[in-house]
Amino acid sequence: MVSARRSFSGNLPVSGFSRLGEVIASSEGEISYELDFGRDEFNVRYVAVRIDAPLTLICQRSLEPFVMTVLVDTRLGLIVKESEEAGLPPGYEPLLVEEDGKLDPLAVIEDELLLVLPLVPINPDAELPDDIVGPDEAEDAPRDTSENPFAILRELKNR
């Protein structure tokens, strides 16, 4: 695929990714992907991965499901030995492939999605219910009417 500079694109069902299904709330929907294989100007074998996936996660603030659009745009340097990682140009992530150079495109897509998922998903639009937060404490807090301890310094300065 590298020698022929092959490209693949399409849509895959979220339900087709078993490991991803274990960490998301729903396996409904489709993932759009593009994989471009080639060699760069340094003769490094790579696969460029672009993924657009609306995934349903559980918000850890409200415990409600929400859809988060996950975008991946990365270039993976294809290496056969771990020692080759040091020779990758900046901006490349290493991808260890078998000795015969074969890789599973579905596994690559799933791995990249798992890597970009947030550790603690939080819906930016979610708010905690009032029964959890309680009344607004800022409004009910008594005003601090004690004297400023530095007020005496101000008086000394003004003398």
Which strands form 7-13's sheet, in the order they lie side by side? 7-13, 30-39, 45-58, 65-79, 92-96
Query: Which helix (H) or strand (E) segment is 115 a member of?
Result: helix 105-116
Is the pTM higher than 0.85?
no
Nearest CA-CA partner of 94 in 105, 108, 104, 110: 108
Q: Give the per-residue pLDDT at 128.
A: 64
pLDDT surpasses 60 at 5: yes
Domain boundaries of the chain, sorted by first residue: 7-126
Top mean-pLDDT range of 65-74, 134-143, 150-159? 65-74
How much is the average pLDDT of 11-26? 94
Residue 135 has a pLDDT of 59
pLDDT tens column, 21-31: 999 999 999 99
